[in-house]
Structure 1
C-alpha cells in the first residue's frame, strides 16, 4: 500500500485482497480494461498480472501498452493490446470487431477510460467541444461498447465494473459542469440497465471513487495538496470486487457528505456565488 498522510489514512483506510480467491476467480477468464495505459487502468492490469487470465488492454498509447504487455507476460497472465481512441467512431468499430473475434466471449469489463475537465462556464462560451468531447468518452463510448459486447458477457454470465466518482452523490461543484454531467449520464444509464443485465446473469458493480492521484488531476493545481487515494489502492478495490461481486463501493464517509449535501443545499446555493465573486475580485 502507498504512503499516506494521517488524513488520507483516516479517509481511505486499508484494503486486503485475498489473492487466492482472486486467482481462482480469474483463472482462464478474459478481462477487458479500458484506459489501461496509465493511472488506475495501468495499476489494475499489473495487479492482475499474477492471475492466469487473459487481459485485453485498450488505450490510445500503443507504445505504453506494448511495454505493459512485455512486463505482464513475464508473469502469469496473457495480454492482448488494442490501440484505440474510443471517441473515434472508426477506431471504436475496429475495437468492437476485434472483441467479437474471441469465441469464448468476455468475462469481465472494467470501464475505466475517461476524461476530466475543470473550467468555468464563462471560459467555455466558445468551447462547445469541451462538452462534446467529455460526453464522447465518459458517456457515449461506454454505452456503445457495452451495447455491442453485452451478448459476449451474457454468454459467460460475466461482470461489468464501472469506475465512477463520489460526485454522483453530492451537490455539483462549479467549474465541473462538463465532467459531472457526463459521469452522471453514464451512471444513470448503468443503474437503469442493471436490473435487465442482472436478470440475464451479468453482475454489475459501480466503484464510486474519491479523488485519485492520477495524471488526469495534474492540470488542477489545487489538487496537489488535497488528500487523494493512490491508484494502487483504487486498483485493489476494483480487484476485490471481481471475486466479491459487490454491487457498489463508496468511501465510509460518503454518507455524511450526502447528508450535508441535502441539509446545507440552500446554504451552499447562497454562499457559493458570493465565494466565487470574492475569488474573482482577488484576481
Structure 2
C-alpha cells in the first residue's frame, strides 16, 4: 500500500499494538479499540484531497502520517512552516502527495491566503479535518485585563473554521465531501472554572456545525463531530494537573478520525460521556457550589 510499506514499514496490527500501550484505567476509559479497516480507508480516500488544520503536531501530525500510506493529496496547515516541510519530505517517501501552507489561522489575511490556494486547486477539496485549536486555562479574575485571551481563542476555535467552511462549501458540495470537526467532551459537560474562553469557543463551533449539518447533508456533504477526551498532545502540556490524568494517545485519536472517513458516522464520543452529561445535569448546582468553596479556600 505504498513504497514505505514495501520498504519494511510496520504492518497495521504492529502499529496498533504499540498504540494501545495504556494503563488499566485508560484501557477501560478508551474501549472499544478502533482497529482500522485499511482497505475501506484506502477506498474512501483514494485520489482525494484532504485538508488537515493544526497538522504540525499532536493529533494532526499523527493523522497526516497515517494517511501518508494512501494515494491521496494532503494539504497540511499549521503555524510552523519548517515542521510542515519536514513532514512533507517524510510523507512523500510513501504514497501521498503533500502540499503545505504555513498559516496562523487567527490571522484573517493568512486565512484568506489559504483559501485562495485551495480554490486554485484543479480537483477541489474532498475532506476537511478541522483540527487546529487553542486551549487556555485561566481564571476570570486573572483575565480582567486580558480580553485578548478570549478574542484569540474565539478566532482559532470558532471564527477560523466557520470562515473556512463557508468558503469551501461549494467545493465540498461538488465533490460530495466530508467535514470532520475535532471537538471535545467539554462541549457536553457543565462549564468548569478557569476554562471560560476554551469551553465557550469550542461550544460555539460545535453548535454552529450541528445547526448547519442538516443543510450540509441536504447538499450531499457529510459531517462528523468527534468529541475527544483528554488527548496527550503538546496543547495540554501547560496545564500541570493533566500530567498524571488519564489521556488518550494521539495515535488512537488519529485512528478514530481515519475510521470516520469511511464509516461517516455523524458523531463519535467515548462510551462514558452520556453518563457524564447526566451527572452534569443532575448535580450541576452541587458541582458549582463545590467549585466555589474550593476557589474561596484558595483565596484565603
Deviation at 1:3, TM superposition (A): 1.6
Deviation at 1:280, TM superposition (A): 3.0
* 1:257 and 2:291 matched: no
The residue that corresponds to 2:14 in the other structure is none
Report SS of the residue matched to 2:161: helix
Moved over 6 A (4+): none
Of 3, 6, 11 in structure 1, the residue corresponding to residue 29 of structure 2 is 11
Of 198, 219, 235 in structure 1, the residue corresponding to residue 238 of structure 2 is 219
Q: TM-score, normalised by structure 1?
A: 0.98
**Equivalent residue pairs, number:** 281
Deviation at 1:36, TM superposition (A): 0.3
The residue that corresponds to 2:142 in the other structure is 123
Deviation at 1:103, TM superposition (A): 2.2
Structure 2 distance, partners of 1:262, 1:60, is 38
Deviation at 1:71, TM superposition (A): 0.5
Structure 2 distance, partners of 1:121, 1:269, is 15
The two structures, once aligned, show a CA RMSD in angstroms of 0.7
Deviation at 1:279, TM superposition (A): 2.9
Q: Describe the superposition over 1:79-132 as per-residue Cα deviations: whole angstroms up to 9, x where unpaired.
A: 000011111111111111000011211110000000000000011000000000
Q: Describe the superposition over 1:185-220 as per-residue Cα deviations: whole angstroms up to 9, x where unpaired.
A: 111111110000000100000000000000000000
Structure 1 distance, partners of 2:28, 2:295, is 30
The residue that corresponds to 1:64 in the other structure is 83
Q: Describe the superposition over 1:17-63 as per-residue Cα deviations: whole angstroms up to 9, x where unpaired.
A: 00010011110100000000000000000010111110000011010
Structure 1 distance, partners of 2:188, 2:157, is 17
Any unmatched runs of 5+ in structure 2? 1-18
146-155 or 263-272, which moves further after superposition?
Answer: 263-272
Matches within 5 A, 1:190-209: 190-209=209-228
Any unmatched runs of 5+ in structure 1? none
Matches within 5 A, 1:40-51: 40-51=59-70
Q: TM-score, normalised by structure 2?
A: 0.92
Structure 2 distance, partners of 1:36, 1:269, is 36
